[in-house]
Amino acid sequence: MAITVQPVTADFVAEVGDVDLSRPLAAEDLSAIRAAFTKYAVLVFPDQAFTDDSQLDFARHFGPLETTVFKARKDHKLRLHENLADVSNLDAESRVLDTNDRQRLYNLGNRLWHTDSSFKRLPAYCSMLHARSIPPIGGQTEFADMRAAYDALPEATKRRLDGLVAYHSLMTSRARLGFSDFDESERRAFEPVPQVLARRLPDSGRMSLYVASHAGTIRGLPDGEARALIDELIAHGTQRQFVHSHRWRVNDLVIWDDRCTMHRGMDFDDQRWRRDMRRATVSDVAPTCEQMGLAVAAE
């Protein structure tokens, strides 16, 4: 049986049914999923009973996988495979993290609008988040369509963004939350990297804004002006008409296009409920400046 694609919104979010992603995937199902993912930037696959391995196997169809940023920390014990980002409120022994646990404070960055791994020179192409346990209330994920947001910009702003390059760092988004507890190796790993502010998607041909709470400065602009512009673009792109809120069910797999969306996690009572979400992340094919034909000197 062929897969079913059911639009949730006109061209941003769709649900996909009649497919079991934990089993080897037929070539025509994979190409139908890829076609849907060119039109819709967020796909929801209900009822996917993944193991970690089958989730990773499915993700590898889309390209090379990222390794979790927590692997770099010597004092941090991983709960999951190094290719799975641990998007949970649990420690390595699956106990709920205390209010003041460093890991919990660090994870609070997911509450800010962002796109995954824009703080890496080679950022993410897409993310695949699977819900193993969810709180009964709260803990939704919101997604914002940066293609629609770009289309709605005034022409003068589009011209202004053309060729502008922002610098993204994980330390910038964490600093917004007052978190500055980084050691030397993290400081080196999280050096700001250049990313275009507007990009064209090679598969659909559409333009998209590319911005996130990781962005802190813009090449050629005074710091204050850069921050004002970044904040304006985030505020513009996250107006309600561009945003979809996903209420999780256990065994939902949601995949989103990191090149042209932002997302954020919503609050829930994390001292009371366990929220266990596991994310496989696929790398993009080239740095954004390279994709847009811009040469950026190393800084």
Which residues bind to Mn ion, rule: CB under 5 A? 116
Question: 76 Cβ partners below 8 Å, 6+ apart?
Answer: 70, 103
- Give the Cα separation of 194 and 120 in Å (integer): 9
Chain position whose Cβ is nearest to Mn ion: 116
Residue from 48, 127, 173, 288 that binds ligand OGA (CB under 6 A)? 127
- Asked if residue 134 binds ligand OGA (CB under 6 A), the reply is no
Q: Pick out residues in 61-100 that bind ligand OGA (CB under 6 A).
A: 87
- Asked if residue 168 binds ligand OGA (CB under 6 A), the reply is no
Residue from 279, 284, 289, 292 that binds ligand OGA (CB under 6 A)? 279
How does strand 124-133 pair with strand 276-283?
antiparallel
In whole angstroms, how close is the CB of 132 to ligand OGA at the nearest point? 12
In whole angstroms, how close is the CB of 104 to Mn ion at the nearest point? 16
Residue from 48, 55, 83, 110 that binds ligand OGA (CB under 6 A)? 110
Confirm if 208 and 259 have CB atoms less than 8 A apart. Answer: yes
In whole angstroms, how close is the CB of 248 to ligand OGA at the nearest point? 8
The maximal CA–CA distance of the chain, rounded, in angstroms, is 57
Q: Secondary structure of the chain: what % helix, strand, coil (to 5)?
A: 30, 25, 45
Nearer to ligand OGA, 116 or 284 (CB): 116
- Asked if residue 277 binds ligand OGA (CB under 6 A), the reply is yes
- Give the Cα separation of 234 and 146 in Å (integer): 9
In whole angstroms, how close is the CB of 129 to ligand OGA at the nearest point? 5
> Which partner in Mn ion, ligand OGA, none is near 244 (CB below 5 to 8 A by kind)?
none
Q: Which of 122, 133, 136 is nearest to 63 (CA)?
A: 122
The number of beta carbons lying within 10 Å of the beta carbon of residue 212 is 28
Nearer to ligand OGA, 80 or 207 (CB): 80
Nearer to ligand OGA, 152 or 189 (CB): 189
Confirm if 260 and 28 have CB atoms less than 8 A apart. Answer: no
Q: Which helix (H) or strand (E) element contains residue 223?
A: helix 223-237
Q: CA-CA distances (angstroms) from residue 28 to 14, 35, 52, 54? A: 18, 10, 24, 19
Confirm if 209 and 146 have CB atoms less than 8 A apart. Answer: yes
- Asked if residue 263 binds ligand OGA (CB under 6 A), the reply is yes
Nearer to ligand OGA, 214 or 263 (CB): 263
Q: Which of 188, 191, 209 is nearest to 200 (CA)?
A: 209
> Which partner in Mn ion, ligand OGA, none is near 279 (CB below 5 to 8 A by kind)?
ligand OGA
- Give the Cα separation of 80 and 68 in Å (integer): 10
In whole angstroms, how close is the CB of 124 to Mn ion at the nearest point? 9
- Asked if residue 129 binds ligand OGA (CB under 6 A), the reply is yes
In whole angstroms, how close is the CB of 258 to ligand OGA at the nearest point? 9
> Which partner in Mn ion, ligand OGA, none is near 288 (CB below 5 to 8 A by kind)?
none
In whole angstroms, how close is the CB of 26 to Mn ion at the nearest point? 30
> Rule CB under 6 A: which residues touch ligand OGA?
87, 110, 116, 127, 129, 141, 263, 265, 277, 279
